[in-house]
C-alpha cells in the first residue's frame, strides 16, 4: 500500500456535485500527477459536510484546513500553493461573519462548534464507496458484536433503555417497535428502511445514504437478527439517483465481504437487502402507504391497527424505521445505552439532524443534541438571518409542522416541547423566515403542497384541505371576511380530528399555528386588506410619488395595459382598476417615483 | 475480496484499514497530538527535507508516538534547511534547523519523547497574524 502524507477530502453530496465537485476531484488528481504527488497525496470524495451554503467544500488533512466554494479552476492553486508550498489559500478560507477574519480550522467555525455528530459521524469523513473505510471507523463491529455476544432480547433491551425514538416524525420508541415485531410469531418477517424523504427542504436522509450508506445496511441486519427476519428492503424515492447508486455499491461490497448474505460472520444468521423505488409521493412516507406501494398497490394509507409489526409487507410482521434512526443504531450498541441516554433531554435522547433553510446565513445540514435551543441553532450555528433582517418565525416539521416565533427562541428543542408549542419534530426540516415573509402566504404555500400530495382516500383530507386552501386564497386576494378566520380554525380542527392518516391529521398545522401566533397578520389581510410584508400582490397597489415624478413617461410607455396616464413633464398616475400589477413601471422608473404599498 | 467469516476477521480488517483513515482522525484532533511541520519549499527539498519527512513519519509511527506530520512552506531559514517545527500539546512551537535524518532521530528521542531540548534550535523572532490577535 502506498503511503499518503496528505488527504484532500472533497464533498461528493448532491449539492456540491451539482456545483461541479466531481470535476474538481478530477482536476485535483491531474494537478497532483503533474507535480509528481499522485502517490503522496490522496484525493477522496466523501459525503456531505453539511455546510451546503458555501459548497463545494474541500478539506485538507491532516492540517484540517477547510476551504469553501471551491471551483474546478481552483485546483491548480490548491495543489501548487497549499500542497507543494504549504501556504493556505486565503480567498478560499471561510470568513467569520462577525470578525471578518479567515478561519482555517473547521473546529473553530460557529457552524461546527455546537454540533455533535452521531448519525452524521462518517459524512464528510469517509469515502462512502469504500467499505474498508467504514470498517476502519468501527463499521459492522456492532453487527459482529450482536451476532456473537448478544441475544436478540438483550439487544432489544439495550435499545429500549437507550431511549432512541424514531427520527422520521412521530418519535415512537425504537426498541419497543422492534419488540412488537419480534413478539409476533410468523414464518417470515421483513425489515424496511423508510427512505422516502418528502418534507420540502429536508435532506438529512439523502445525505446519510450518500455519505454513509453502510451505517443503514448494518442497522437493518441488526434489526433482522433482533426480530427474526432474513430479508430487508430500502424504500427510496427515485429522485435520489446518487443515493441509489451509492447504496447499490455498498450492497455489493457488503455481499462480497459476506456481511450480507448467508451465514453472516459464521453465526448462522442470514440476511439480505433489496431496493424498492418510490415515485416520490409524500404520503408514501407514512408506513402503511409505503408498504402498499412496495406491494405494487396504490400508495394509500390504511387504518392502524393492524400495525405493520403485526401485518405489514405481504401481510407479514414488518419493522419500519427511517434512515436517520438506523444511522444511530450501531453507535448505541457499541458505546452503550448509558452513553446515548446521557445526551439530550429527559424524554428525547441523543441528537437530531436538522436541515436549515430559508432566510438564514448558513443553509445546511446540522446535528445537535436534543435540548439545544432554537436560538442556538438559528443564530449561533445558522449564523443569523440573511442581510441583517429581523427574525420572524421558523417552520419546523415540514408541511405537518407549525411555525414557532420569537417567544419560542429559548425553548429547548425536543419532541414534547415542539408539540406543546403547536409544531412538531417531523423529519427535521427548519425553514427560517424573516420580516419580509407573509405568514398567510406561508400557510397557503404548505397547503398547496398537502392538497397536491393528499392521496384522496379520505374525505376530510381530500375535500377539507381543498376548502382550507380556497379560504386562504380568498384572504390573500383581499376577498376575505371576518367569519373566514373562524372557518379556518373550525375546519382545520375537524380535518385534524377526522383524517385517516398522519398526513391529514397534521396538514392543518401550518394554518392553525400561524393563526395562533400571527393572528394580527390575518386580521390585517381581512379587515384592512393590507399585507405588511408586501407579498400578497392583490393587496398591493402601485403608486407614483408626486415629489419624485419628473414626467419622463417611461412608466407609461412600459405599462402593457395602459393603466398609467399623465402629460409629458407632469405627474403620472396609476389607475388601480386597469393595473395588472406586473411591476414593469417600477422597474423602468429611474427616479424611484413608483412604489408598491 | 476474502469473505469475513468471524468477528476476529472483521477486527483484522479494521486494524489494516485504520491506516487509510488515520491521517484524517489525527487531523481532527491535531491539537492534542505532537505536530511536526517540515518546511518543504524548494530550498528545503534541495537540502533533503523529503528524506527527513519520510524518516519522521516512519520512525514516529514505529516508536509509537501519536503525531501529525505535515508539510509547510519556506520558513525563511534557508541557511539552516531542512527545518522542522515541533509543537508538543499545550506548548509553544520550537523550530529546529539542519535536520537530517540523524538530527531527526535525536529530536524524536530527546525532545519529543524525553522533553529535553537539543542543539539546533532556531529562536523564533517573528510574529504571525495568528499570534498577534
The pLDDT assigned to A378 comes to 94
CA A487 to chain CA mean position, Å:
32
Chain B residue numbers touching A85 (CB-CB < 8 A): 40-41, 73-74
* CB-CB under 8 Å, B6 with A148: yes
Task: Categorize the per-residue pLDDT at B133 as very low, low, confident or very high, splitting at 50, 70 and 90.
Answer: very low
Domain A541-596, second-level architecture: 2-Layer Sandwich (3.30)
Does the pLDDT at position A1 exceed 80? Answer: no
B33 has a chain A CB within 8 A of its CB = no
* CB-CB under 8 Å, B14 with A136: yes
pLDDT in tens, A135-153: 999 999 999 999 999 999 9
A112 has a chain B CB within 8 A of its CB = no
Chain B residue numbers touching A139 (CB-CB < 8 A): 14
- pTM of the shown model: 0.87
pLDDT in tens, A22-47: 999 999 999 999 988 888 899 999 99
DSSP string for A66-97? EE-S--GGGHHHIIIIIIIH----GGGBEEPT
Smallest Cβ distance to B7: which of A5, A9, A148?
Answer: A148
**Of the candidate ranges A239-243, A290-294, B53-57, the one whose mean pLDDT is the lowest:** B53-57
Give the β-pairing of B121-122 and A102-103: unpaired
The pLDDT assigned to A541 comes to 84
Chain B nearest C-alpha distance from A63 (Å): 6
Domain A439-526, second-level architecture: Up-down Bundle (1.20)
Chain A residue numbers touching B60 (CB-CB < 8 A): none
* CB-CB under 8 Å, A140 with B30: no
Chain A nearest C-alpha distance from B71 (Å): 6
* CB-CB under 8 Å, B24 with A62: yes
Does the pLDDT at position A453 exceed 50? Answer: yes
> What integer is the mean pLDDT of A384-411?
91
> What integer is the mean pLDDT of A451-476?
94
Chain A residue numbers touching B9 (CB-CB < 8 A): 265
Residue with cell 456540491: A16
CA A399 to chain CA mean position, Å:
12
Spans of all domains in chain A: 6-109, 131-340, 351-434, 439-526, 541-596
**Of the candidate ranges A102-106, A305-309, B33-37, B86-90, the one whose mean pLDDT is the lowest:** A102-106
CA–CA distance, B90 with A253 (Å, rounded to integer)? 43
* CB-CB under 8 Å, A85 with B21: no
pLDDT in tens, A537-592: 888 888 899 999 999 999 999 999 999 999 999 999 999 889 988 889 988 999 99
Interface of A with B in 32-61 (CB under 8 A): 61
Chain B residue numbers touching A101 (CB-CB < 8 A): 133
Residue with cell 403547536: A422
* CB-CB under 8 Å, B28 with A257: no
* More confidently predicted of A427 and A458: A458
CA A493 to chain CA mean position, Å:
27
Does the pLDDT at position B31 exceed 80? Answer: no
* Residue A588 burial (CB count, 10 A): 16
Domains in chain B, start-ordered, CATH in brackets?
30-132 (3.40.30.10)
**Of the candidate ranges A28-37, A178-187, A203-212, B70-79, the one whose mean pLDDT is the lowest:** B70-79
Smallest Cβ distance to B23: which of A7, A86, A87?
Answer: A7
The mean of the pLDDT values for chain A is 92
* CB-CB under 8 Å, A148 with B71: no
Q: Do domains A6-109 and A131-340 have the same CATH topology?
A: no
CATH topology of domain A351-434: Ubiquitin-like (UB roll) (3.10.20)
* CB-CB under 8 Å, A257 with B5: no
CA–CA distance, A41 with B75 (Å, rounded to integer)? 22
Report whether CATH 3.40.50.300 matches the domain A131-340. Answer: no
Chain A residue numbers touching B10 (CB-CB < 8 A): 135, 140-141, 144, 265
The pLDDT assigned to B54 comes to 87
pLDDT in tens, A300-353: 999 889 999 999 999 999 999 999 999 999 999 999 999 999 999 999 999 999
Whole-number percent of chain A with pLDDT over 70 = 99
A1 has a chain B CB within 8 A of its CB = yes
* CB-CB under 8 Å, A145 with B10: no
Domain A6-109, second-level architecture: 3-Layer(aba) Sandwich (3.40)
Opening angle at CA A345, ends A340 and A347, nearest 5: 90
3-state secondary structure A95-158: ECCCCCCEECEHHHCHHHHCCCCCCCCCCCCCCCCCHHHHHHCCCCHHHHHHHHHCCHHHHHHH
The pLDDT assigned to B115 comes to 83
Interface of B with A in 54-73 (CB under 8 A): 57, 68-73
Amino acid at each position: 500500500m502506498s503511503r499518503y502524507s496528505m488527504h484532500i477530502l472533497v464533498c461528493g453530496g448532491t449539492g456540491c456535485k451539482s456545483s461541479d465537485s466531481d470535476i474538481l476531484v478530477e482536476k485535483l488528481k491531474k494537478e497532483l500527477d503533474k507535480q509528481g504527488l499522485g502517490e503522496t497525496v490522496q484525493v477522496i470524495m466523501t459525503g456531505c459536510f453539511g455546510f451546503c451554503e458555501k459548497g463545494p467544500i474541500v478539506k485538507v488533512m491532516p492540517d484540517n484546513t477547510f476551504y469553501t466554494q471551491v471551483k474546478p479552476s481552483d485546483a491548480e492553486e490548491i495543489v501548487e500553493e497549499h500542497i507543494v508550498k504549504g501556504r493556505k489559500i486565503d480567498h478560499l478560507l471561510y470568513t467569520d461573519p462577525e470578525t471578518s477574519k479567515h478561519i482555517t480550522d473547521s473546529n473553530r467555525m460557529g457552524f461546527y462548534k455546537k454540533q455533535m455528530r452521531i448519525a452524521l459521524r462518517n459524512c464528510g469523513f469517509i469515502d462512502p464507496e469504500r467499505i474498508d473505510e467504514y470498517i476502519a471507523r468501527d463499521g459492522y463491529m456492532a453487527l459482529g458484536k450482536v451476532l456473537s455476544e448478544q441475544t436478540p432480547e438483550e439487544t432489544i433491551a439495550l435499545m429500549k433503555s437507550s431511549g432512541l425514538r424514531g427520527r422520521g416524525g412521530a418519535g415512537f420508541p425504537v426498541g419497543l417497535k422492534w419488540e412488537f415485531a419480534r413478539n409476533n410469531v410468523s414464518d417470515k418477517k421483513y425489515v424496511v428502511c423508510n427512505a422516502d424523504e418528502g418534507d420540502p427542504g429536508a435532506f438529512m436522509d439523502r445525505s446519510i445514504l450518500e455519505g454513509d450508506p453502510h451505517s443503514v445496511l448494518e442497522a437493518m441486519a441488526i434489526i433482522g437478527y433482533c426480530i427474526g427476519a432474513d430479508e430487508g428492503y430500502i424504500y427510496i424515492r427515485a429522485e435520489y439517483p446518487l443515493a441509489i447508486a451509492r447504496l447499490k455499491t455498498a450492497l455489493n461490497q457488503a455481499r462480497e465481504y459476506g456481511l450480507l448474505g448467508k451465514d453472516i460472520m459464521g453465526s448462522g444468521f442470514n440476511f439480505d437487502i433489496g431496493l424498492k423505488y418510490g415515485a416520490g409521493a409524500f404520503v408514501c412516507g407514512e408506513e402503511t402507504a409505503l408498504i402498499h406501494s412496495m406491494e405494487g398497490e396504490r400508495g394509500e394509507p390504511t387504518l392502524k391497527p393492524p400495525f405493520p409489526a403485526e401485518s405489514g409487507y405481504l401481510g407479514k410482521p414488518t419493522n419500519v424505521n427511517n434512515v436517520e434512526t438506523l444511522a444511530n443504531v450501531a453507535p448505541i450498541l457499541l458505546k452503550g445505552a448509558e452513553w446515548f441516554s446521557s445526551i439530550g433531554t429527559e424524554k428525547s435522547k441523543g441528537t437530531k439532524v436538522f436541515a436549515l433553510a430559508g432566510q438564514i446565513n448558513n443553509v445546511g445540514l446540522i446535528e445537535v443534541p436534543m435540548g439545544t435551543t432554537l436560538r442556538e441553532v438559528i443564530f449561533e450555528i445558522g449564523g443569523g438571518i440573511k442581510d441583517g433582517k429581523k427574525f420572524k418565525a421558523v417552520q419546523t416539521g415540514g408541511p405537518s409542522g407549525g411555525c414557532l416565533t420569537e417567544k419560542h427562541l429559548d425553548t429547548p428543542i425536543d419532541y414534547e416541547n415542539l408539540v406543546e408549542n403547536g409544531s412538531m419534530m417531523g423529519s427535521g426540516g427548519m425553514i427560517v423566515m424573516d420580516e419580509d415573509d407573509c405568514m398567510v402566504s406561508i400557510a397557503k404555500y404548505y397547503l398547496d403542497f398537502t392538497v397536491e400530495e393528499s392521496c384522496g382516500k379520505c374525505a376530510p383530507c381530500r375535500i377539507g384541505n381543498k376548502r382550507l386552501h380556497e379560504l386562504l386564497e380568498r384572504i390573500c386576494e383581499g376577498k376575505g371576511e371576518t367569519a373566514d378566520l373562524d372557518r379556518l380554525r373550525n375546519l382545520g380542527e375537524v380535518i385534524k380530528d377526522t383524517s385517516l392518516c398522519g398526513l391529514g391529521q397534521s396538514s392543518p398545522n401550518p394554518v392553525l399555528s400561524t393563526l395562533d401566533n400571527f393572528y394580527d397578520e390575518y386580521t390585517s389581510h381581512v379587515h384592512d386588506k393590507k399585507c405588511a410584508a408586501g407579498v400578497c400582490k392583490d393587496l398591493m397597489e402601485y403608486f407614483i410619488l408626486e415629489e419624485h415624478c419628473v414626467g419622463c413617461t417611461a412608466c407609461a410607455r412600459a405599462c402593457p395595459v395602459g393603466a398609467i396616464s399623465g402629460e409629458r413633464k407632469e405627474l403620472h398616475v396609476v389607475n388601480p382598476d386597469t393595473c395588472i400589477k406586473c411591476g414593469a413601471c417600477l422597474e423602468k422608473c429611474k427616479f424611484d417615483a413608483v412604489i408598491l404599498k | 475480496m476474502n469473505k469475513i467469516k468471524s468477528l476476529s476477521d472483521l477486527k483484522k480488517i479494521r486494524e489494516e484499514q485504520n491506516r487509510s483513515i488515520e491521517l484524517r482522525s489525527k487531523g481532527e484532533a491535531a491539537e492534542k497530538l505532537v505536530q511536526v511541520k517540515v518546511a518543504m519549499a524548494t530550498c528545503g527539498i534541495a537540502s533533503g527535507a523529503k528524506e527527513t519527512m519520510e524518516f519522521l513519519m516512519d520512525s514516529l509511527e514505529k516508536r509509537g508516538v501519536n503525531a501529525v506530520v505535515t508539510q509547510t512552506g519556506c520558513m525563511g531559514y534557508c541557511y539552516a534547511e531542512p527545518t522542522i517545527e515541533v509543537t508538543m500539546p499545550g506548548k509553544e512551537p520550537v523550530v529546529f534547523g539542519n535536520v537530517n535524518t540523524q538530527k531527526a532521530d535525536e529530536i524524536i528521542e530527546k525532545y519529543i519523547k524525553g522533553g529535553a531540548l537539543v542543539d539546533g534550535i532556531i529562536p523564533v523572532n517573528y510574529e504571525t497574524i495568528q499570534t498577534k490577535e
